[in-house]
Amino acid sequence: MWSLARALLFLFPAEEAHEVGKVLMRLLAALLPAPRKIQNNPIGLAAGFDKNADLLDILPKFGFGHAEIGTVTPRPQGGNPRPRLFRNPNDRTIFNRMGFNNLGAGIISERVRRIRPRLPEGFKLGINLGKNKDTPDTLAAEDYAAAARPFLDLADYFVINVSSPNTPGLRALQSPSALLPILKRVRSEIADAGKSIPVWVKLAPELTGTGLRELIEALDQGGVAGFILTNTQGGVYIDEGQELPGGWSGQNLTGLSRERLNEVRTYTSLPLISVGGIMTADEAIERLKSGASEIQIYSGFVYEGPFLVRRILKALRNQG
């Protein structure tokens, strides 16, 4: 049935198909039982799929144990001009150059506030933080703190996103000198509110070797809770002869994301969340065996359908 539904959805341009897909998910969710409690579930929805918490209330019905909302910026942001989302079904890949389009921290936090009491016990909510496109790097730390502020009594964890290839210059913040002040400022915002919320950092798959090791070690010393590996792989998409910069996800990212997981595991004992190219239950199990404490799904959910998470959970149970 999913093959038929996917074929129909893929008749639409990718971004429109995503919106139609959300409507179909709501219709399907009405037929599914709602779990009362989440236990021993390491599978989450990756950031970018539910930017504005449109689906947050129904995600547990599809088997997710956590969800990462966003990327959320302090002020509403329209993102890059369309078209900005593309599919390549033959390669089972997705190319996105969305550009942190979202309703802004204020509106999204109020939406989350209404939904949060209805989420099952044990379901974890992450907020992926970004800076507005027009905010200079010198003020980036303030933007990340401002994006976190409305969620201080709602989030189970925060993620500092400096690894998206869709905002010009953002990846330049992936250095100890730039990233440590952002981490410090967000943690200070949390502490000033009397809260204890872990702060993770999401990194690009292209980072490797000495530079990656030094960054991991510096952030480890700076109080980061863990690392999310990885974001999309930077590249270009040729649309009617025009080169559009953005990021690739899906099956092409499987090997690269797995490599970064294995590499970073040698640099730190902190928890790691693996995301990128997890298209099957076997790959999900491989990531967990390789040292990921949790995994996240995005492209696999698009290509394999809404019951991929349940298949992974079943495979994990069969593993014992």
**Main-chain dihedrals φ then ψ at residue 119, nearest 5 degrees:** -75, 145
Dump pLDDT digits (tens) for 253-300: 999 999 999 999 999 999 999 999 999 999 999 999 999 999 999 999
Is residue 308's pLDDT more than 90?
Answer: yes
DSSP code per residue over 153-170: TT-SEEEEE---TTSTTG
Is residue 155's pLDDT more than 90?
Answer: yes
Query: What does pLDDT average to over the chain?
Result: 97
Q: Say what the pLDDT of residue 3 is.
A: 84
Q: Say what the pLDDT of residue 82 is.
A: 94
DSSP code per residue over 8-47: HHTTS-HHHHHHHHHHHHHHHHTTSPPPSB--S--EEEPT
Domain boundaries, the chain: 2-319
Give the contacts of 37 (CB within 8 A, at least 6 positions apart). 120, 121, 122
Q: What integer is the mean pLDDT of 136-160?
A: 98
Q: Say what the pLDDT of residue 168 is.
A: 87
Given a contact cutoff of 8 angstroms between Cβ atoms, the answer to whether 81 and 103 are in contact is no
Q: Say what the pLDDT of residue 273 is.
A: 98
Q: Say what the pLDDT of residue 319 is.
A: 87
Q: Say what the pLDDT of residue 9 is.
A: 93
Give the contacts of 226 (CB within 8 A, at least 6 positions apart). 198, 200, 270, 271, 272, 273, 293
Is residue 2's pLDDT more than 90?
Answer: no
As a whole number of Å, the end-to-end CA separation of the chain is 30
CATH topology of domain 2-319: TIM Barrel (3.20.20)
Dump pLDDT digits (tens) for 66-113: 999 999 999 999 999 999 999 999 999 999 999 999 999 999 999 999
Is residue 161's pLDDT more than 90?
Answer: yes
Dump pLDDT digits (tens) for 35-66: 999 999 999 999 999 999 999 999 999 999 99
Q: Say what the pLDDT of residue 165 is.
A: 95
- The whole-angstrom separation of Cα 17 and Cα 221 is 43
Q: Say what the pLDDT of residue 173 is.
A: 97
Dump pLDDT digits (tens) for 9-30: 999 999 999 999 999 999 999 9
Pairing state between β 43-45 and 66-72: parallel
> Is residue 269 annotated as part of the catalytic site, yes or no?
no
Given a contact cutoff of 8 angstroms between Cβ atoms, the answer to whether 216 and 136 are in contact is no
Q: Which of 164, 257, 274, 299 is catalytic?
A: 164
- The whole-angstrom separation of Cα 204 and Cα 212 is 10
Using 50, 70 and 90 to split pLDDT, how confident is the model at 225?
A: very high
Q: Say what the pLDDT of residue 14 is.
A: 96
Q: Say what the pLDDT of residue 234 is.
A: 97
Give the contacts of 286 (CB within 8 A, at least 6 positions apart). 258
